[in-house]
Amino acid sequence: MKRVWRTAGLLLLCACGGGCSAAITYRFVDTLSTPGPSPAPPLAAENGLLAALETATLEPDVRRLASSEMEGRGRSSRGNGLARAYIVGRLMRAGLTPLFAGAFEQRTFPENGGTEPYAVNVGAYLPAADPAAEWIVLVAHYDHLGIRWGKTYPGADDNASSVAMLLAIADALGRARPPLRRHVALVLPDAEEPPDVRTERMGSTWFWRHPPFPLASLHCALVFDLMARKASQAIREAGLADDVFVLGAEASPGLARLARGIPPEPGVARMPMGLPLIEAYPFVPWRRFARSDYHGLREHGRRPFLFVTAGRAPTYHTPEDTPDTLDYAKLARLARWAARLLVHAAEGAEELGWTDLVADPPADARALLRLYGTAGDGTQFPWLLRRALTSDRARVEALVAAWQGGPAPTAADYRFLQLASLRLQAAVWHPTGWWFALW
């Protein structure tokens, strides 16, 4: 508890001290608020890929990657190397082409120019007929926290679930070999977890800065993380058990049309949200905290991407993130949905476009109101946190009502939405953390 208060105090001092940078300013758009077209009918390549997709491999792959033998897949560890070898073997058996000049592995190096590799990414691709075609890149990091304080962190949901999904898609691509208009690459980066996340040390950041193709030819990236948590009773009662969060489409109408245009997949409901809604922290308004492997692409590549996740489970970053805690039927449905998404991305005719630092406040507010259902009646929370959540929700409802026929959203309004979203996420993830009510 003392450490929590000390951290909060340091953040307050940093926020209130002199010399702080200006708060991030978002340009408001209506990309997610504007009604989109009806989903497109399935494409021929889509039907072929789905027919070849075998989801029976998902659970065995998760169990292998999250086994005790893999030792939590910590960067540069023995278990990390075993996981990497397993992934490379699966990509080879799928019959995909090595992504890195004839190799499946890409070594990364420290920022200071050191000669010893820091991490190792893995990648393969299905070539398009035209060698000069654009690229679609599917991303799922394979590393996890390893062994810390004598305990193994298996990382079944984070992120063996997404890796297993990409391996199933790799098998399907190898079997069906659909004639897509764009190259489709599967990239499995290393060094995503702390202390590397949001730094130049991330394996994905190295990849985006040293891509095996001209980055201008990247049509879009699809980044997957945390794909198989079991829905809690509160989530089921809120009607959100089938939802998958699709973030980043606010950055362009083309991305929004891509995300909305996928034919329905039974048992999968898409919930669009703006990335800023998950990237705020209370006392650091001049920073944004990227949540996964899109960080380096946004900072350096500035090309279109979507971040797809089923959300954090209470087991996130704990030794309890084990294969037995996952919903494999849900993961199978999401694998089929992801296969549809990649085909529509690979076959779409339009240039998607991308703009940084935009937000759609009305759409994000409506998404947040849906998420309040996951808190149930709030009786599981300490009274101070319950009171804060109730107050937040009432204010979000008031903002939605006001925006429908009155003043436009302000920067202060949106900053409140971000902090309300953060409080709700933190409360649902860690209900006993009553200090979340104090900002």
Q: What pLDDT, in 10s, does the model give residues 172-209?
A: 999 999 999 999 999 999 999 999 999 999 999 999 99
Q: Does domain 44-358 have CATH number 3.40.630.10?
A: yes
Name 167's Cβ contacts closer than 8 Å, sequence gap at least 6: 57, 61, 87, 90, 91, 94
Alpha-carbon gap, residue 386 to 379, rounded angstroms: 7
Domain boundaries, the chain: 44-358, 360-438
Burial class of residue 130 in the structure, from the number of CB atoms within 10 Å of its CB (0-12 exposed, 13-18 middle, 19+ buried): exposed
Provide the whole-model pTM.
0.94
Within its chain, how far is the Cα of 133 from the centroid?
Answer: 26
What pLDDT does 21 receive? 55
Alpha-carbon gap, residue 274 to 301, rounded angstroms: 19
Residue that has been written with the tokens 């490379």 in this structure: 88
What pLDDT does 98 receive? 98
As a whole number, mean pLDDT of residues 285-292 equals 92
Q: Is the pLDDT of residue 230 over 90?
A: yes
Q: Is the pLDDT of residue 100 over 60?
A: yes
Angle, vertex CA 179, rays to CA 127 and CA 340, nearest 5: 100
**Three-class secondary structure of residue 428 per DSSP:** helix
Contact 173, 126 (CB under 8 A): yes
Among the ranges given (89-103, 261-275, 349-363, 373-387), the one the predictor scored with the smallest mean pLDDT: 373-387
**Tokens standing for residue 326:** 């996952």
Percent of the chain with pLDDT over 70: 93
